[in-house]
Structure 1
Amino acid sequence: MRTNQIKLFVLIFSGFLFIASSQAQNKPGDSKFVVVLDAGHGGKDPGNRGGGYKEKDIALNIVKKVGQELEKIENIDVIYTRDSDVFIPLDKRAKIANDARADLFVSVHCNAHNSQAYGTETFVLGLHRNQTNFEVAKRENSVIFLEEDYHVTYDGFDPNSPESYIGMMIMQEEYLDQSILLADFVQKNFTNDLKRNNRGVKQAGFLVLHQTYMPSVLIETGFLTNNSEGSYLNSSTGQSKMADAIVEAIVEYSHTINLASLENLTQEAAVEIVTTEAEVDIYENITFKIQLAASSKKLEPKSSNFKGLTPVFREKEGKLWKYYYGATSSYSQIQKLHEQAKKSGFPSSYVVAFRAGNKITVNEALKSQSK
C-alpha cells in the first residue's frame, strides 16, 4: 500500500567533491562526452562505387544525420573529421580525435564485394583472423596511396603486406574492451531494430583506428554491390534508419564510465552532511536506484571511484557490470539522489526500478500502487 506524506529525517548525502587531475584538465570545462564522427573517404577518394553509388557520399550523409541527432543531446559534443566532400588523410582524421581528447571515435563506411554479399559488420582494431577481413582492411587502408609521402607518414606501412599489420594492436589494446562494447551495441541495433543481416563484430588492421587514443570502431553499414542493400543505403530512409541505430548505440555507450578518467580524480573538499525533513512517497516492494554507468570492466564500487557518491552497488547483467547509486522505496528521495548524481559528474545517469529483484520500468513501478 502506498503511504503519502510520511515525515522523516533523511540523511541525503555525505561524501567528497572531486576534481579531475591531469587528463580532465585538458578536457573541456563542462566535461561533456566527446564523439568524433568520421565519414570514410571524401574528395578525390570516392571509396567503393558498387552499384554505381559513391561510398563517400553515403557515408557522409549517414554521419551528418548521426551528428544532427547527437547534437540535440545536452551532454554530448560532436566533432566531424569532415562535413563536406573533402579529402582528409587517415592520420589527420586520427589527429582530430586525439587533439580533441575524444571519448569515442566512430568511422562510417560502406562495403563491397564481387558477389551479392550483404549485411552489416563493425570492426575494432586487431589482427584479421581470415582473408576476408584482411581484404576489407586492405581496401580501406589503400587510401594512403593518394597521400603524398605516405611511406614517411605511416613508417613504411604497406596495406597489401600482411607483415605490416603485425604489432598494430599495441596502441589500441587498452581500449579494446570498450571498442568491442560499442561495436556490439551497434550490431545489435542493426540486427534487432532494422533487421539487417548481422555479419558480426570483427577485428582487422585499420590504420585510422590504429592511430587513435580512445575506444574506436569502424562501421561497414552494408554492401553497395548488393542490389537491394545498395539501393537501401542510397535512400534517405535507409540512411536515416542506419543513423538512428548508430545514435542509439553511442548514447547507450555514453552511459558507461570513462574508467581511466575516474582513476585520475583527486579529492578536493568534503561536503557538509545535510539532514532535511521531507515528505516522501513510499512504494512498497519497489526499490529505486540511480544507474550511473554500465561497463565491461569491473570496478570496485567505492566512493573514490564514483566522485564521492555512496552507496554504490555493482551488479552483473549479461556481459556488463552495472553501477547503481542509492537504494530507496521513496520516489521523491530517488529524484533528489538523481540530482545529486548529475551534479557530481554523472549527467547521463537515470532512475531505474526493481521489484523483487527484477528490473521493471519506472512507469510500471509508479503505477503499481494506487494512492
Structure 2
Amino acid sequence: MNLKLVFLLFIISCTCTFAQDGGKFKVVLDAGHGGKDFGALYHGYVEKNITLNVALKVGKLLEQDNAIQVLYTRKTDVFVALSERPDMANRADANLFISIHCNGEPKKAAFGTETFIMGPTKNASNLEVAKKENSVIKLEKDKEKYEGFDPNKPEALLSAVPDATLNNSIDLASKIQDGFTSTLKRKNRGVKYAPFWILNKASMPGVVIELGFVSYEQEGAFLNSEDGQDDMAKAIAKAIQSYKKEYYTGGGTEYKEPAANSGTATVRIVAETKPAEKPETKPEAKPAVAAAKGVTFKVQISASGKSLETVPENFKGLTNISKDASAAVIKYYYGATDSYDEAKQLLVTAKEKGYTSAFVVAFKDGKKITVQEALGKK
C-alpha cells in the first residue's frame, strides 16, 4: 500500500478517535490526605479513609454520565504530595477541582458542613482549617517547590483567582452546601473564604469541602457509616451535575494521565469606588427573545464577603443594583428585565464600566435557573 495513503488513514483514524472523546466535562476528585498522612483522627474515625470512600462514591455516580470524565488524585490509601493534586487538574485542563476533607477540633463540640473557596480571610477558625490542610507540606521531603511558603502562615498566600473562576467556585460551593443542608439537613456552616494552597494553584473553579467534624462523635459516626457516605456523595454529585448543566457548553477532550505520573492576580473583593464619570449606557430597544412567564434576567457583576449599600457610588455609577445575601458570599446584580435581549445590553453596559467578568443569570419566581431553562420554558 502507498506510504502516503497509510499515513492518511492513520491521521483519519486518530481524528475520529479524538472526535469520539470530545465534549468531556472533566472533574478531578481529590480525596484529602492518604498514606502516612491520616488527617483528622478522633473516636477511631480516620479522615483519610472517609474522604477516599466519599470521593470514590462521588466518582461512581458521576461516571454514569458518559459526558463526564472523572479523574482521581488517589484511588487507594497512598500519600500524594500537595503540589501533585492541583498539578493533575491543571495538566488535565479540568473543568472542576473538588477536594474532599473532614474537620476536627480538640474541644469536640463543633459540628456541621462548610465549603471553602480560595480567598483571603481574617477569621481565625477559617485560617485554622487552611493551616491544617496546608500542613501536609511538612510531611514532604521536597519543600523547595513551595517557594518558601509557610503552612503556618496561610494568610501570606497571594491568590491568583480570576473573577470568573471565583464566581463559578462560589456558585458550585453554594450548590454543595444547599444539598448538604436543604436535602440532608446537616448543619450549615456556610460558604467561606480561606487561603488553601491547592485552590490557589488550581487554574479552574475549585472548592475544599469539609464534610463535617469527626471530632464530634455523632457526626463522626454518620460520616464513617456507609449510609452517611452515600448521602454526602449523592449531594456532591448532584451539585456537580447541576453546575455542569448551568455552565458547561461542551468542547473538551478526554484526558489520559501520562504513565510516568503518579496518581498571579488577586481575588477581587468588592471595595467602594468613586462614581464613574462616564454616563450609564441605556439598553437599546430591540425585538425581545421570549422568556417564560415569571422569568427575570439580571447581570451578576461581583461577589464579596462584604455587604455594600446598593448605591451607584459603590458600583462604578451603575444604578438598579440588587444583592443576594443568603450565603456567606454576597452576590451583586445589575438590572432586572424579562427580556433576554435587554439583559445582553445590560451586560455590555456592565463590562463597559469595568465589570469584565460579568455574566447574565436568570431567575424564575425568585429561584435561580439556567439561562437555557429560562429561554426554553414556554
TM-score of the aligned structures, taking structure 1 as reference length:
0.65
Question: Percent identity among equivalent residues?
Answer: 44
Looking at structure 2, the residues matched to 27 and 58 of structure 1 have their Cα atoms a distance apart, in angstroms, of 37
Q: How far apart are residue 159 of structure 1 and its match?
A: 1.1
Looking at structure 2, the residues matched to 259 and 181 of structure 1 have their Cα atoms a distance apart, in angstroms, of 17
Q: How far apart are residue 28 of structure 1 and its match?
A: 8.7
Q: How far apart are residue 168 of structure 1 and its match?
A: 2.5
1:324 is matched with: 372
Q: How far apart are residue 316 of structure 1 and its match?
A: 3.9
Query: For residues 29-54 of structure 1, what are the alpha-carbon distances to aligned partners after superposition, in whole Å with 9 as ceiling and x for unaligned?
Result: 51211111000000110111022211
Q: Which amino acid aligns with 2:113?
A: T
Q: Which amino acid aligns with 1:232?
A: F
Secondary structure, aligned partner of 2:246: coil
Q: How far apart are residue 87 of structure 1 and its match?
A: 0.7
Structure 2 unmatched ranges of 5 or more: 1-17, 253-289, 302-332, 334-339, 346-359
Q: How many residue pairs get matched?
A: 268
Q: How do residues 112-261 of structure 1 correspond to structure 2 at under 5 angstroms?
A: 112-115=104-107, 116-150=109-143, 152-161=144-153, 165-171=155-161, 173-258=163-248
Secondary structure, aligned partner of 1:256: helix
Over 3 Å counting, the alpha-carbon distance change for 1:326 and 1:51 in structure 2 is closer
Q: How far apart are residue 200 of structure 1 and its match?
A: 0.2
Query: For residues 201-235 of structure 1, what are the alpha-carbon distances to aligned partners after superposition, in whole Å with 9 as ceiling and x for unaligned?
Result: 00101111111000000000000000100000000
Q: Which amino acid aligns with 2:145?
A: T
Contact 1:314 1:323 in 2 (8 A): yes
Looking at structure 2, the residues matched to 314 and 321 of structure 1 have their Cα atoms a distance apart, in angstroms, of 8
Normalized per residue, the structure richer in strand is 1
Q: How far apart are residue 59 of structure 1 and its match?
A: 0.2
The runs of at least 4 aligned residues of structure 1 exceeding 6 Å deviation read: 259-262, 286-289, 297-300
Equivalent position to 1:46, from 7, 20, 38: 38
Q: How far apart are residue 241 of structure 1 and its match?
A: 0.2
Contact 1:120 1:198 in 2 (8 A): yes
Over 3 Å counting, the alpha-carbon distance change for 1:261 and 1:206 in structure 2 is farther
Contact 1:122 1:201 in 2 (8 A): yes
Looking at structure 2, the residues matched to 99 and 222 of structure 1 have their Cα atoms a distance apart, in angstroms, of 30
Q: Name the Cα RMSD after superposition.
A: 3.4
1:37 is matched with: 29
Looking at structure 2, the residues matched to 248 and 214 of structure 1 have their Cα atoms a distance apart, in angstroms, of 19
Contact 1:35 1:106 in 2 (8 A): yes
Query: For residues 266-324 of structure 1, what are the alpha-carbon distances to aligned partners after superposition, in whole Å with 9 as ceiling and x for unaligned?
Result: xxxxxxxxxxxxxxxxxxxx9889x9xx995799759xxxxxxxxxx974455857323
Q: Which amino acid aligns with 2:370?
A: K
Say which structure, 1 or 2, has more relative contact order (CA 8 Å, 6+ apart): 1
Contact 2:22 2:251 in 1 (8 A): no
Over 3 Å counting, the alpha-carbon distance change for 1:130 and 1:315 in structure 2 is closer
Looking at structure 2, the residues matched to 326 and 228 of structure 1 have their Cα atoms a distance apart, in angstroms, of 42
Structure 1 unmatched ranges of 5 or more: 1-25, 263-285, 303-312, 328-350, 354-371
Looking at structure 2, the residues matched to 68 and 107 of structure 1 have their Cα atoms a distance apart, in angstroms, of 16
Secondary structure, aligned partner of 2:180: helix
